[in-house]
Structure 1
Amino acid sequence: MTQGSKAAAAHLVHMRSFGGHRREYLTLFSRMFTLEASTGKVSRRNILRLARAKRLLFGTIDDDYLGFFLVGMLRAALGRRTVGVFLRPQTCFNTSGLRYRIKKAAFATARMIPRLSVFTIVPFSVAPEYASIATGGLIDPQMWDQYGSRNDPLNEEIYEIIKNKAAGRKVLSFIGSVTEIKGTRLLNDLLNSPDWPADKLLLVIAGKFPHSNFDLADKADRIGSLVIDRYVTDQEISGIYQASDLVWCCYHPEYNQASGIFGRSIQFRRTPIVRRHSIIERVSKEVSAQCVPLDYESPTRSLDAIRENVATVESAETFHNLAFEDWESEFYHTVDQAL
């Protein structure tokens, strides 16, 4: 290893795994802050390298809280800074168990440690309670990391399939794993209604169905929806967003956090359907982005809201002028200064 490569290795962005949107965060942070990617659980194998790094960003701390605290306190004792991105801070405010209260106390204590910074991906203006457990609140990178020019080229085949199937109707897309936490119970209830506006709205479900939700796939297929029961690639997902007018982000109340699907819908200027009073509804209002809020416990009122908005949903050309550059700039300068 050359002296130059050793210097590069001393500037790290670390994550335990690549699951979910983590790979996208890792790639983005590596490029944005000129950091070398590092992965794996904090252990004897890598703790010294992390402790000695000149700059260290934990791209997400959610998979290894103990490792983050251990490394962060060690580096603080050595006079070095550590920054962590907190994806699910709302779990600190869950009152249903002792472990959540311990977690909240741990983050409140960590907030007072010099040179240790934690940033949530929801602004404090949206969730003021996060100020008690974190250094700052920023806009989720999934809301701005691809604005202007798309990193993933449009998949024209899936775009044309959706547009041909829609035949002039509006398109509502459900993207990703088809699980209960993503709001399938409510969606199932909506599709059971004879008033579902199939004549005005094409439902696209693109993602792998678990066995427990096969009935939803059958029901969606029977009303003429487009069901893609498999893993969809990043290029295909870009094509689905481009073909959509509305994007399903109305998740179970237990999933009350920032969402990559929601963020991408904002970037593509597609209107997200969200749960009323959720974090992402509050984010929509904060950034002046159009959304359609649904009452999760009332399929009747939720169906009324969808029917009312199908005809009036804004197109990409008339969507709000969002401050993508400002969000990116604030994220970069805030985190870079903490590093």
Structure 2
Amino acid sequence: MLFSRAPVLFLMVEEAFLLYVAAALLRALTGRRTVGLLLRPMPLSVSSRRACRWKRAVLGWLKRFRAIHTLTILPFSVFPAFSAIAKGWIYDFQLWDLTDAEREAVELLRGERHPGERLVLTAIGTQNRRKGFDLFTDSYVRVAALRTRFQFISCGRIEPMVDAYAAAFREAGGVAVNRSVSDAELLGAYAASDAIWCFYPPFGDHASGVLGRASQLGIPAVVRYGSVAHRLCIVENIPHVSATADGIAERLAGPLPPRDEARGRLAANRFARQSEATLRSALGLASPNPPAQP
């Protein structure tokens, strides 16, 4: 890695920060490019913790080197402070990574829904407090009107610390699939859903692959007002419902934005083109479709 003439890409700087810095600096001495992706730039941008402060200073200093390109996976327009620690940005891969076959499978499964069924709100992935599972389940248990209008489903392993919430949720009629699920089952969960739960508390506030997949499929997301997810939805015109923790039931009593698969596909294509162009530029790679010579 240190001596390769080819550009090097670190997929998650946060997981190997010192290695990224050391490798990038050593490679920069010989003009060799190194690119690093920040998957959770929020803490590094705003936290007052000493570890975040010195990392923030180091990343700001690295911006001076032409051969080093640190990129976030969120646009600077979502949170302008990201520009202090990164040279540029791409869109989260999970905003643009679905294949045509996966989309077709979701649309086919979606066609099996019957009119008149309750709306489905699904929480996807490992369930814990960081994913807002306590609020998700408690809202369903406490508010009868939500149970009348919606079927709440959680799809993914439930961590033991929230088992009590899961038990009450099941007793109230909620559906909890407490295990790891396959890729095919995840596609089925998106197909069955009218909205996706992305209401994460402040300590879980970061880019979300769950939101990314919902966006690609044109499914509205339920997000916390003022969160990173909410900011992204506004900036990129992603269908969503935003609420405060106290206002979930009231907001879900109103109409949901409609599913719009065509809109999701167009947005994903745009995210892909821009992200691939940015990555190629940072890595020093030629465009796959160079302009024709006159």
TM-score (normalizing by structure 2): 0.88
- In 2, distance between residues paired with 1:58 and 1:117? 10
CA deviation string 1:291-335 (max 9, x = no partner)? 011203x2xx221011213xx431335856743222111111111
Q: 2:269 aligns with which of 325, 329, 339?
A: 325
2:177 is the alignment partner of 1:225: no
Alignment map for 1:154-169 (pairs within 5 Å): 168-169=117-118
1:147 Cα shift? 5.6
Flag the 1:191–1:228 CA change in 2: closer, same or farther, 3 A: same
Instruction: Answer yes or no: is 1:267 the counterpart of 2:216.
Output: yes
C-alpha change, 1:233 and 1:317, in structure 2 (3 Å) is closer
Greater relative contact order structure (CA < 8 Å, 6+ sep): 2
The aligned counterpart of 1:92 is 44
Structure 1 distance, partners of 2:171, 2:213, is 29
Query: In angstroms, what is the RMSD of aligned CA positions?
Result: 2.5
1:208 match: 157
**Structure 1 residue 143: Cα displacement:** 0.5
Structure 1 residue 192, shift from structure 2 partner: 3.5
Q: 1:184 to 1:337 in 2, by over 3 A?
A: same
Give the distance between the partners of 1:330 and 1:307, measured in 2 at CA.
37
TM-superposition CA deviations, 1:83-119 (whole Å, max 9, x none): 1111011111343421111111111111112210011
Distance 1:338 1:182, change over 3 A: same
Aligned length: 283
Between the two proteins, what is the percent identity of the paired residues? 27
Alignment of 1:1-339 (within 5 A): 49-146=1-98, 148-150=100-102, 153=105, 168-296=117-245, 298=246, 301-309=247-255, 312-316=256-260, 322-339=266-283
Q: Which sections of structure 2, spanning at least 5 residues, go unmatched?
A: 284-294
Identify if the C-alpha distance between structure 1 residues 134 and 269 changes in structure 2 by more than 3 Å, giving closer, same or farther.
same
CA shift, 1:148, in A, is 4.2
Q: 1:321 to 1:146 in 2, by over 3 A?
A: closer
Q: Hey, what's the Cα distance between the residues in 2 that align with 1:196 and 1:63?
A: 43
AA aligned to 1:129 is: A
CA shift, 1:78, in A, is 1.3
Structure 1 length-normalised TM:
0.77
The 2-side partners of 1:225 and 1:191 are apart by 8
